[in-house]
Structures are given as structure tokens and as C-alpha cells.
Amino acid sequence: MCGIVGYVGRQHAAPLLVEGLSRLEYRGYDSAGVAVLTSGKPRVVRTVGRVRDLEAAMPKRLAGTVGIGHTRWATHGPATEANAHPHASEDGRVLLVHNGILDNAAALRERLAADGVTLASDTDTEVLAHLVSRSEATSLEGKVIDALRQVTGTYAIAVLDADHPDRVVVARNGSPLVLGLGEREMFIASDVAALVRHTSQVVHLEDGELATVTASGFHTFTADAASVAKTPETLELSAEELEIGGHQHFMHKEMHEQPETVRRMLTGRLDDRFATARLDGLQLEPRELRAFRRVKILGCGSAYYVGQMGASMIEDLARIPADSEAASEFRYRNPIIEPDTLYVAVSQSGETADTLFAVREIQRKGGRVVGLVNVVGSSIARECDGGVYLHAGPEVAVASTKALTHMAVGFAMLAVALGRVRDLSFADGQRIINGLKQIPDQVAAVLEQEDAIAEVAKKVAAAPSLFFIGRVRGFPVSREGAQKFKEISYRHAEAYQTSELKHGPLALISEELPTVAIVPRDDLLQRNIGAAHEIAARRGPLLVVTHDGVDLGELDAARIVVPKNEDELDAILLTIPLQLLAYHAALSLGHDIDRPRNLAKSVTVE
């Protein structure tokens, strides 16, 4: 949420900053700006809108080899030029970009105003620029430390000071920040996506750390000015993985990557000899795995819904109680942390603040938490006590698709591993392992139905409101289907347990309200078909997502048929057509699919 870039080196900073911001635009895209030191004088360009608007507004010549930039997702104040970053001190000599939220900004704004400072924006960030500038310390590092002592909240910041033109000082607390090491040049970013074209050597800052960044390198230290030694890591990501290829949207590309990425994820992790999954990254011995009496999954949004799929897989296969909870609520209800519960944090970005804080709350109370995370080296991945990398590759579209499929597959592997150290038989373990092996081809088979799904999607998109219904294993599928639909089509879509419909919401069914019903071929089939008939009897238009061999009788319904897998794994495949449904509905409505309104990928604020 919000993207930060910085550059100190021998090339012109401005084009590099703008290019870096365009790679980070999925983190926020309501306004953008850069500041560059030109012959020691700060020059600032800010615009409302996309990075392409900033690019158009850039002067032809903007020399200078030191600069910072930002793409914003508004927290304090609307998307206006005055609220866009970088923010400046009154004399314009200190410039600052910030990602995160300062909790005591209102009090600090009041104090600054009482001291006669004229505030130029509605933002929390601006106070930091004034505090840095007003510090009496002589070094920029000292000024930044002084300022940070006065604020509470989360931040990643990059600070320029015309009085110290050879450097950018950065700091991190709760929002990601990474340094990229080049030849006599250094890059700064909130996400490696902005660095990967320039370097593969990176250093992640930890919370509470600051760094001085100059053309010749970096120096990391704490707020007590104690040096911190850092060893650069080599990025596994390649620049090509971030290209859109021949696709119209990243979301389209990412949906179509799924067969290959899932195949890659499974490689080396399915163990036919013992009919189990090998998840060495969990760093849990079989004896420890067996000792857990409960599993609690924590994630946000779609990750939370996939967590519900995971909980049901774990209950089915390992027969231990499991549930999934919204991480955004968890730590505020003073949760009871049990020593024999395995906590699992699930996240694509590994930077979602709500999930990260849930991890810390569990650890603070002595619980054991492992991660199911996609982004290697992300905060959640680093802070968990072990985990499983999802290996979905970079996901750029705001609406998550392939990472969620990988989460579901990850949970299936975890469930079989937990089951096989308990009472899941060899035969049942092998049944699930064989089922998992089929997933890549079966996902490909669903994707081949894209044209037919696109036709249905156009019709469904015409309705202002929709139901998505499913029961038991199908309910999280319907929740995720509704979520995807809402995010990019801006249509109201409500997920409901099929079984609960008759307890109230059936009153809403009419010719104007279509229902997408998840009807798997499992032991609830007849009940699900019965509910579909009840909807049809009330003239509700129906789209049934089902398996081959299902006889819907006389039901008047559009149909999407997905390949059948093992009952416990069906949710993985039933979700795939709902991605295509949402995508084509949004496409037919002419929406900006990769950058839906009001949203941003990687929600690094609470």
C-alpha cells in the first residue's frame, strides 16, 4: 500500500524513479510524485492520478542523481496534488515519502500549527518533513532519528535533505523497505519489483532500523545509532516474470499461469513412498506435528477465505479441529493462545499489516506460528517460525488469483502431512497425493472453457446484485467467488450458505437477482440441487458451477462444469471458473481490471 522508490548514483534519477513507480503502481495509484536534487536544489513534481500522468507532467530535463518517489493510496486526506508525496518542510529543503500511518499525526499537526508552522496538506506524512527539518541535530541521520522519536505508528520513509545532497536516509517500522545494491549506485524501494531490473543483490531492513544510502553503498543502524551488519541476499525473481507478455491484463496472465506454477509448486513436495507431503520449511518434526491438537489459520480477505478451505481440508484429513479467522480482527479480541495449537498465517504479499500483527501477537504470547506465504523474504515469511513458500511467482493484479490457488494447494499438503502423522491411512494419503498431481491439468481444463464462461459473465454482469451460494466445502468457494466479483466488477455480490437461504435471504430472490450456485458431486449433491430448484421456482436466474455427471433434472440454469477431483480437494478447482467469471464481467463493464477503484495490493496499513 503506497509505493516508495529512491535512487542515489551516477545516472539521472528521475526516469529511474518513474520507471520504479510504474512497477509499484499496484500498491497504490491515486496520485504520484518524485523529488530530485538538481545541483543541490530540490525539484518536486506531483500529480493526481496514475504514474503515467506523472510521467506526462515531468519536465523534459530534470537532471540530478539523487531522488525519491512515491505512488499513493490515500489514508489521510483525498487524492489531491497537495496530499501527494513527497512532502516538504516549510523551506522546501527536506523532502520525504512515507508508507504507513502515523497514529499521533493529529496531535503533532496541532503542535506544529501552534508553533507557527503552515501545514500544506491533510496528510500525516507532512508532519515528519517538518519534524526532520526542525531538529537541531547536525547530521541528516540525527534529524531523522529525532523526528521518529516523536511519532507513533507504522512507517517506511525515505528522506532527502538539500543540506546533505549525497544521501537518502531511510527508516522502517511496520512497512516494508528494501535496498538494492548496484555498481556505484543504490536503489531504494518498498518492494523488490521496483529493483529487479537493476540488481539482484538486496538488503531488507527490519523494523526499528534506519540506513544511510549513498552512491558508494549503505550503512544500517538503529535509533540508538548502533551499526547493524547486513549481508546482501540474491533475488530469486527475474525481470521477465514481471512482464505482462501477450495478455491484456496481469490478472489474465496470472490466471493462465496457474497450471505451470502449481506444477512447479508441487515438484519435490509429494512423497509417494510414505503417501504424504514433504514440507521441510515448516521446521517441525513428525513428533511435533503430531502434538498439535488444533489448527488456527489467520489471513485477510481472500486469504482468509482460502484459510476456510484449508481448515476444512485439515479437519477432513487430519481430524483435528481447525478454523480460519480474519487476522484483521484477531489481535483486537485478546485471543487465547494455546501451546498445542498450530497457528498458520497465510498471505500472498507477506506484508499485510493485519496478518503481520496477528503473527506478532501470537509470538508475544508464546504461540507457534508458521507461514504460507508467496513473497520470499517478506516480513511475514521472515517473522514466522517456519513455513511453506507458495512459489506462485509475482502477482501484480490487485485481484488475487494464482496465489490463492497456491494457498489452497499448500493447505492440502499441510492437511495430508498432519493427517499422515495421525490416522490418515496410507491409501487415503496416496489418494490425496494422486489428486494433487492431477490439479495442474485440471486447472488447464477449466481455463480452456474461458470463452464459454466469458459469455455467461456478460449476462451476469448486467445484474446490479448477485448471490454466490455454497455449503460446507463449497461455502468458502462462494465467499471467494463473491469477493473476486465485487472487487473488479463493482457489483454487489453476497456469499451465503446454501442451507441458510431459506432462513431469510430467499425473500430477495427474483428475476433481477442471479445466483451462482456451487454444486459439487459429493454427499451434499441432492441437497444443493434441491436448493437450486427452490431458487428457480422463484424465478431466480441461476448459474450452477458443478461437476460432470451431475443430473440437474429440469432445472433452468446456465452451467459451468469443472473436472472432479477428490471430495476434499474439490474447492481448489471450483474456484477457478469464478476467477474467469469475475474477470470477464469486469471486462464487459469496461473496468480497469488490474487497478480496481479504492483498492491496492499489499495492504500494509491496519
Residues 180-209 vs ligand F6R: string with x where CB under 6 A?
Answer: ------------------------------
Between strands 94-99 and 87-88, the pairing is: antiparallel
CB-based contacts of 399: which residues, under 8 Å, 6+ apart? 251, 484, 487, 488, 582, 583, 593, 596
Q: Which of 143, 296, 564, 601 is catalytic?
A: 601
Q: Closer to ligand F6R by CB, 329 or 338: give it.
A: 329
CB 48 within 8 A of CB 74: no
CB 196 within 8 A of CB 218: no
Among the listed residues 24, 398, 1, 397, the one whose alpha carbon sits nearest the alpha carbon of residue 197: 24
Q: Which of residues 344-373 bind ligand F6R (CB under 6 A)?
A: 347-349, 352, 355
The residue range among 295-303, 414-422, 439-447, 543-551 that interacts with ligand F6R, by the rule CB under 6 A, is: 295-303
Q: From the CB of 375, what's the least distance to ligand F6R, in Å?
A: 8
Q: Closer to ligand F6R by CB, 341 or 347: give it.
A: 347
Q: Closer to ligand F6R by CB, 442 or 579: give it.
A: 579
Q: From the CB of 379, what's the least distance to ligand F6R, in Å?
A: 11
Q: Does 602 bind ligand F6R (CB under 6 A)?
A: yes
Question: How deeply is 537 buried, as exposed, middle or buried, from its count of CB atoms within 10 A (0-12, 13-18, 19+)?
Answer: exposed
Residue of minimal Cβ distance to ligand F6R? 301
Strand 3-8's sheet: what is its strand order? 41-48, 31-38, 66-72, 3-8, 186-189, 178-181, 201-204, 233-234
CB-based contacts of 227: which residues, under 8 Å, 6+ apart? 219, 220, 221
Let me know the angle formed at the C-alpha of 503 by 497 and 509, rounded to the nearest 5 degrees. Answer: 80
Whole-angstrom distance, CA of residue 32 vs CA of residue 22: 10
Q: From the CB of 101, what's the least distance to ligand F6R, in Å?
A: 16
Q: Does 579 bind ligand F6R (CB under 6 A)?
A: no
Residue type, 442: Q
CA 504 to chain centre: 34
From 302, 498, 528, 565, residue interacting with ligand F6R (rule: CB under 6 A) = 302
The residue range among 44-52, 300-308, 550-558, 587-595 that interacts with ligand F6R, by the rule CB under 6 A, is: 300-308
From 16, 179, 213, 603, residue interacting with ligand F6R (rule: CB under 6 A) = 603
Residues 366-405 vs ligand F6R: string with x where CB under 6 A?
Answer: ---------------------------------xx-----
Residue count at the site for ligand F6R (CB under 6 A)?
Answer: 15
DSSP 181-239: E-SS-EEEESSGGGTTTT-SEEEEPPTTEEEEEETTEEEEEETT--EE----EE----G
H-helix or E-strand containing 443? Answer: helix 426-447
Q: Closer to ligand F6R by CB, 487 or 570: give it.
A: 487
Q: Closer to ligand F6R by CB, 167 or 595: give it.
A: 595
Q: From the CB of 102, what's the least distance to ligand F6R, in Å?
A: 22
Q: From the CB of 401, what's the least distance to ligand F6R, in Å?
A: 8
Q: What residues does 95 pair with on adjacent strands?
A: 88, 160
- Whether residue 458 lies in the annotated active site: no
Q: Closer to ligand F6R by CB, 151 or 300: give it.
A: 300
Between strands 515-519 and 542-547, the pairing is: parallel
Whole-angstrom distance, CA of residue 216 vs CA of residue 193: 22
CB-based contacts of 303: which residues, under 8 Å, 6+ apart? 346, 347, 348, 352, 355, 400, 404, 407
Q: Closer to ligand F6R by CB, 71 or 348: give it.
A: 348
Whole-angstrom distance, CA of residue 315 vs CA of residue 189: 41
For the beta carbon of residue 169, count every other beta carbon within 10 angstroms: 25
Q: Does 335 bind ligand F6R (CB under 6 A)?
A: no
Whole-angstrom distance, CA of residue 169 vs CA of residue 158: 6
CB 418 within 8 A of CB 292: yes
Q: Closer to ligand F6R by CB, 31 or 347: give it.
A: 347
Q: From the CB of 301, what's the least distance to ligand F6R, in Å?
A: 2
The residue range among 35-43, 222-230, 298-306, 512-520 that interacts with ligand F6R, by the rule CB under 6 A, is: 298-306
The residue range among 23-31, 253-261, 316-324, 341-349 that interacts with ligand F6R, by the rule CB under 6 A, is: 341-349
Among the listed residues 345, 358, 338, 327, the one whose alpha carbon sits nearest the alpha carbon of residue 292: 338
Q: From the CB of 407, what's the least distance to ligand F6R, in Å?
A: 8
Residues 478-497 vs ligand F6R: string with x where CB under 6 A?
Answer: -----x---x----------
**What is the biggest distance separating any 2 CA atoms in the chain, rounded to whole angstroms?**
81
Q: Does 324 bind ligand F6R (CB under 6 A)?
A: no
Q: From the CB of 117, what's the least distance to ligand F6R, in Å?
A: 36
Using the structure block, give the residue that is written with the C-alpha cell 503542535.
111
Q: Closer to ligand F6R by CB, 341 or 355: give it.
A: 355
Q: Does 528 bind ligand F6R (CB under 6 A)?
A: no
From 51, 148, 303, 593, residue interacting with ligand F6R (rule: CB under 6 A) = 303
CB-based contacts of 287: which residues, under 8 Å, 6+ apart? none
Q: Which of 2, 253, 484, 486 is catalytic?
A: 2
Q: Closer to ligand F6R by CB, 257 or 566: give it.
A: 257
Identify the DSSP state of 466. Answer: E
Local structure of 568: helix, strand or coil: helix
From 3, 86, 301, 470, residue interacting with ligand F6R (rule: CB under 6 A) = 301
Q: Closer to ligand F6R by CB, 392 or 439: give it.
A: 392
For the beta carbon of residue 337, count every other beta carbon within 10 angstroms: 17
CB 305 within 8 A of CB 279: no
- Whether residue 2 lies in the annotated active site: yes
From 186, 210, 300, 532, residue interacting with ligand F6R (rule: CB under 6 A) = 300
The residue range among 82-90, 122-130, 274-282, 343-351 that interacts with ligand F6R, by the rule CB under 6 A, is: 343-351
Q: From the CB of 438, what's the least distance to ligand F6R, in Å?
A: 25
Where does this chain bind ligand F6R (CB under 6 A)?
Answer: 300-303, 347-349, 352, 355, 399-400, 483, 487, 602-603
Enzyme catalytic residues: 2, 601
